[in-house]
């Protein structure tokens, strides 16, 4: 049994950590947090140069052709650094959708641009409140154009193209939904930035008015493709969450070692130690669930749907738990804008919702476990 990343993959993780420590210090994250830029363009360019944007994209489409385990270790570091770039929307959602369902021409058109950092992509799925559901998709497709409103769309205001879920039927079945590729710069789409709890990852409203669109995958296959894309993205995003959890735990630990109160480091008080121990527990459970998700993702195992849901739930819980208690350990200072704690708290709570909320994934997990049990 080798339920671990290989030495080469660990080296890649170290390289990514080193690169991000240098190019993405908290100061850089704050540029975006404070609204001085929509995302960190220099960092985005650097990630492309390092080959990180196309790590799981096959060489024939301009990527490094490494694989998804390699992408997982990079995702972890993106989360640890709180990187203010459209990595998850472009790489986990748009690129994965193209890899799963794109025609050769579509892949040829967009994947090399993703790998080189020239194109930002996203998935336009949600239409207001609610979790992923075919019933919630109202945006209409007709005659090769789309009309309707999508929000929130992650990184929608800076994206060059979007994978859009649209209604192509009215039978009440999943097959009413189809996916489309839309060049957001080609006219017919209006993007409006929306204020959100984590300004380091933008959210937008996209209004489609007879926007030109080409089908992605077969008509009526939209929901089935989406489900797979969301599962794959769930594993990758879970690695970001684990990276963020670990960082929040380290910040709390370091502060507890340095801060003196009542004449001793606060980390010597059991009340504080136990908070940190529980953070370690949740981060460890999440990491282990993520490893299983990584294995399932990289081997396309039939266990992927269940593994993805478990990784998603566990990592969401861990990041929320670690980021909120990191603030608690910091006391008043943790609640200042100046300290970095709130950046992780924001990211944790935004990430908890972006692919559908915790309760949605809980539901999914039990459905999938039941199916496996029945089989």
Partner 1 sequence: MNFDDTPQEAAFRAEARAWIQANAPKQYEEELRKSSLGRTVLKDANILEVAKAWQKKKADAGWACLHWPKEYGGRGSSPIERVIWQQEEGPFGKLSGMFIIGHGMCGPTMMAFAGEEQKRKYLPPLASGEKVWCQLFSEPAGGSDVAGLRTRAEKKGDDWIINGQKIWTSGAHYSDYGILLTRTDPTVPKHKGLTMFFLDMKSPGVEVRPIKQASGQSDFNEVYFTDVKIPDSQRLGAVNDGWNVSLTTLMNERMSIGAGVSTGFPELFDFCNSLMLEDGPAIEDRNVRSKLANYAVKASGLRYTSMRAISALSKGERPGPENSIGKLVAGSMVQEVAMYALDLQGAAGVLSGPEDAEVAGKFQAMLLRAPGTRVEGGTDEIMRNIIAERVLGLPGDIRVDKDVPFNKIPTKGRA
Minimum CB separation from partner 1 for residue 346, in Å?
24
Among 291, 319, 344, 345, binds partner 1 (CB under 8 A): 291
Q: Are 350 and 197 in contact (CB under 8 A)?
A: yes
Among 88, 90, 314, 326, binds partner 1 (CB under 8 A): 314
Length of the chain: 375
The gap from C-alpha 314 to its chain's centroid, in whole angstroms, comes to 15
Sequence-distant (≥ 6) Cβ neighbours of residue 274 within 8 angstroms:
none
CA distance 242 to 296: 17
Which helix (H) or strand (E) segment holds residue 235: the answer is helix 222-258
Given CA atoms 44, 51, 16, 23 in this order, what sign does their dihedral have? negative
By the rule CB under 8 A, 369 interacts with partner 1: yes
Minimum CB separation from partner 1 for residue 20, in Å?
23
Binding residues for partner 1, rule CB under 8 A, total 49
Minimum CB separation from partner 1 for residue 273, in Å?
4
By the rule CB under 8 A, 286 interacts with partner 1: yes
Nearest to 72 by CA among 5, 137, 119, 134: 5
CB of 168 or CB of 317, closer to partner 1: 317
Binding pattern to partner 1, positions 52-91, x when CB under 8 A?
Answer: -----------------x----------------------
By the rule CB under 8 A, 219 interacts with partner 1: no
Angle at 127 between CA 178 and CA 305, to 5 degrees: 60
Among 135, 192, 264, 371, binds partner 1 (CB under 8 A): 264
CA distance 348 to 357: 12
CA distance 333 to 327: 8
By the rule CB under 8 A, 370 interacts with partner 1: yes
CB of 101 or CB of 279, closer to partner 1: 279
Minimum CB separation from partner 1 for residue 142, in Å?
36
Place of tokens 């949600």: 126
Minimum CB separation from partner 1 for residue 264, in Å?
7
By the rule CB under 8 A, 253 interacts with partner 1: yes
CA distance 110 to 54: 11
Q: Are 135 and 174 in contact (CB under 8 A)?
A: no
CB of 50 or CB of 275, closer to partner 1: 275
Q: Are 23 and 81 in contact (CB under 8 A)?
A: no
Q: Are 322 and 349 in contact (CB under 8 A)?
A: no
By the rule CB under 8 A, 16 interacts with partner 1: no
Among 4, 27, 105, 338, binds partner 1 (CB under 8 A): 4
CB of 140 or CB of 302, closer to partner 1: 302
Among 58, 65, 220, 265, binds partner 1 (CB under 8 A): 265
Q: Are 98 and 119 in contact (CB under 8 A)?
A: no
Burial label, 300 (beta-carbon count in 10 A; 0-12, 13-18, 19+): exposed
By the rule CB under 8 A, 319 interacts with partner 1: no
By the rule CB under 8 A, 267 interacts with partner 1: yes
CA distance 144 to 163: 14
By the rule CB under 8 A, 257 interacts with partner 1: yes
By the rule CB under 8 A, 289 interacts with partner 1: yes
List of residues contacting partner 1 (CB under 8 A): 1-6, 69, 249, 253, 256-257, 264-265, 267-268, 270, 272-274, 276-278, 280-281, 284-289, 291-292, 294-295, 298, 309-310, 313-314, 317, 359, 361-363, 365-366, 369-370, 373
């Amino acid at each position: 049994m080798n339920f671990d990343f290989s030495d080469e993959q660990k080296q890649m993780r170290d390289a990514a950590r080193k690169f991000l420590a240098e190019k993405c210090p908290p100061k850089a994250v704050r540029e975006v947090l404070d609204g001085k830029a929509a995302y960190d363009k220099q960092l985005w360019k650097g990630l492309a140069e390092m080959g990180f944007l196309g790590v799981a994209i096959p060489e024939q489409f301009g990527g490094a052709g490494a694989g998804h385990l390699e992408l997982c270790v990079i995702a972890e570091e993106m989360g640890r650094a709180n990187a203010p770039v459209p990595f998850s929307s472009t790489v986990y959602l748009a690129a994965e959708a193209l890899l799963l369902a794109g025609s050769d021409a579509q892949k040829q058109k967009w994947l090399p641009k993703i790998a080189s950092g020239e194109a930002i992509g996203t998935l336009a799925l949600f239409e207001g409140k609610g979790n992923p559901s075919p019933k919630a998709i109202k945006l209409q497709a007709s005659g090769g154009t789309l009309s309707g409103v999508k929000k929130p769309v992650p990184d929608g205001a800076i994206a060059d193209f979007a994978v859009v879920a649209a209604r192509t039927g009215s039978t009440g079945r999943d097959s009413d939904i189809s996916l489309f590729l839309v060049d957001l710069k080609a006219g017919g789409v209006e993007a409006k930035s929306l204020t959100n709890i984590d300004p380091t990852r933008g959210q937008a409203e996209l209004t489609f008015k007879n926007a030109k669109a080409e089908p992605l995958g077969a008509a009526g296959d939209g929901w089935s493709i989406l489900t797979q894309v969301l599962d794959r993205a769930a594993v990758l995003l879970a690695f970001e969450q684990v990276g963020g959890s670990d960082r929040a735990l380290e910040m709390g630990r370091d502060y507890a070692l340095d801060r003196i109160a009542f004449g001793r480091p606060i980390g010597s008080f059991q009340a504080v130690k136990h908070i940190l121990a529980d953070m370690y527990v949740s981060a460890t459970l999440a990491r282990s669930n993520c490893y299983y998700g990584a294995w399932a993702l990289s081997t396309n195992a039939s266990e992927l749907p269940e593994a993805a849901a478990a990784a998603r739930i566990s990592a969401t819980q861990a990041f929320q738990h670690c980021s909120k208690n990191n603030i608690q350990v910091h006391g008043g200072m943790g609640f200042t804008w100046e300290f970095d704690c709130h950046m992780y708290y924001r990211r944790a709570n935004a990430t908890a919702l972006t692919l559908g909320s915790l309760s949605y994934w809980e539901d999914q997990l039990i459905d999938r476990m039941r199916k496996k049990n029945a089989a």
